[in-house]
Homo-oligomer: A and B are copies of this chain.
Amino acid sequence: MKKILIATSALVATAGIAHAEVSVSGQAIAGLIYNSEGVEKTKLLNKVNIEFNGSGETDGGLQFGFNTNHIIENNGLSVDNDDTTVWMSGAFGKLSFGAVAEADEVAGLSDIGWDGLDVDDVAEALVGDELLDNGQAGKGLGHNVNYTYATGPVTFSLSGRLATSHGTLAPGASDAESYAAGVKYSFGTGYVGLGYGSHDFKLLAASPVAAMDRAKVVSVFAGATFDAIKVAAMYSDASFKSVTGVKSGADAYGLNASYTMDALTVSMGYSKANFDLATGRNDQKAFGIGAAYDLGGGASVSGGIAQVESVGDENQGNRLLPKAKETRADFGVTFKF
C-alpha cells in the first residue's frame, strides 16, 4: 500500500487549518567528483536527503516549527542528520535553536559546481563557523542560538554558541566561546551587509592554532541582480591574539557572478585569504567556473571545475605544512522532490 503525499500545488485547502503540520520533501543527487590530489582521483557520489519540516501557529499568533534532514551518502549503513533547528517567530522577531546561522555570515557566497567545490570557503574562511575547523582545533564553532529581527528593509541578527561547556573547564578542555552580530539592508534587487564575530577558543599553548586563540572579525557584504546577471561579494578582516598575547591578523575576500540564459546558468567564483606570518597559516586562493542546466520538474544537471590552493579539504591550511594546489571538478544530476 503505497502512500502519496499531496503536493502543495494540489487543490487541498489546508492553509485555513490552524493545526501544526509536518511536511516531507527530499533531494537526491548522483554524479562524479574529481580531486587531482586524491588517493583515488575520481569518485562516484550519490546522496539522498529526506527533509522534514514542521510548522504551526499558537492561538496568540506565534509561528513555530522545525527543520531536519535525514541523509544517506553512498548507501552508507547509518542515517545521518544535518542541520536540525527548532524555531519560533512573532512580532518580537525569530528565535532559532540548533543548527542556526551565525549572525556575522550575513550573506555568504554561492559555491561553484554540482555537489560543490568549496570555492566560496576561502572567502568565508574568517566568518561564521569556519575560522578553525574541527580537525585542527578540536573545537566546534557552530552557533546554537540565533535571534533575527526584520523591520522594513533592515534585518538584524545576533547569534552565539551557548551553554556548551565553554569557560567551565580548563583551557584546552573547555569548548570555544563565540558570539556574532549582523545587519543587512536590502534595496530593489540588491543588498549590503555588515557582520561582526568574536571568538575565544580557550586553546592550550601547545595547540597548532594557538596563534589564533582569540579572534575579532569584521565583515562586509554586497550583492545585486542586474537582469540576467547576479553578483555577490564579501570582504572580512580578522584580528587575532595568541594564547600568550601575540597579535596578528588576516583578511579574506571573494566574488561570485552568474549569468542565466533560459534554463542555463553559468557562474564563476574567486576567493582569496591572506594570513599574517605569525598566524602560522598559509595564504589561500580559489578560482572556479561552473554551469547548471535546469531540466524542469525539479531536475537539473550541473558541474564545475576549480583550482584551489590550500591545505586540507576545508581550505584551512597550517603554514607548517607544505602548500597544496588542487584541481577539483564535479558533475552530476540533482533531483528535488
Q: Are A163 and B42 in touch, CB under 8 angstroms? A: yes
A244 CB–B CB distance under 8 Å: no
A92 CB–B CB distance under 8 Å: no
Q: Are A98 and B74 in touch, CB under 8 angstroms? A: yes
A180 CB–B CB distance under 8 Å: no
A60 CB–B CB distance under 8 Å: yes
What's the least CB distance linking A134 to chain B, in Å?
11
**Residue of B19, B333, B337 touching A9 (CB-CB under 8 A):** B19
Given contacts A3-B7, A17-B9, A42-B163, contact A86 B297 (CB under 8 A): no
A168 CB–B CB distance under 8 Å: yes
**Residue of B20, B24, B32, B297 touching A56 (CB-CB under 8 A):** B297
User: A81-136: which residues lie under 8 A (CB-CB) from chain B?
Assistant: 81, 83-86, 88, 97-99
A319 CB–B CB distance under 8 Å: no
User: A36-67: which residues lie under 8 A (CB-CB) from chain B?
Assistant: 39-40, 42-44, 46-48, 50, 52-60, 62, 64-66
The CA-CA distance from A312 to B180 in the complex, in Å, is 36
Across the interface, which residues of B come within 8 angstroms of A14, CB to CB? 4, 6-7, 10
Given contacts A70-B70, A84-B75, contact A299 B58 (CB under 8 A): yes
Q: Are B19 and A298 in touch, CB under 8 angstroms? A: yes
Q: Are B80 and A78 in touch, CB under 8 angstroms? A: yes
Across the interface, which residues of B come within 8 angstroms of A142, CB to CB? 75
A176 CB–B CB distance under 8 Å: no
Given contacts A44-B163, A77-B80, A163-B44, contact A337 B20 (CB under 8 A): yes
**Residue of B3, B42, B76, B297 touching A23 (CB-CB under 8 A):** B3
Q: Are A22 and B6 in touch, CB under 8 angstroms? A: no
Given contacts A28-B54, A79-B81, A145-B44, contact A3 B5 (CB under 8 A): yes
Given contacts A6-B6, A25-B22, A46-B97, contact A81 B84 (CB under 8 A): no
Q: List 24 A-B contacts (CB under 8 A).
A: A1-B21, A1-B25, A1-B56, A1-B336, A1-B337, A3-B7, A20-B299, A21-B337, A22-B24, A22-B26, A30-B88, A40-B168, A44-B163, A46-B98, A48-B66, A48-B98, A50-B52, A60-B295, A72-B81, A74-B144, A75-B81, A75-B142, A78-B78, A78-B80
User: What 10 pairs across the A-B complex have the smallest Cβ distances?
Assistant: A59-B296, A3-B5, A28-B66, A58-B295, A20-B298, A54-B337, A30-B97, A30-B86, A20-B337, A46-B97
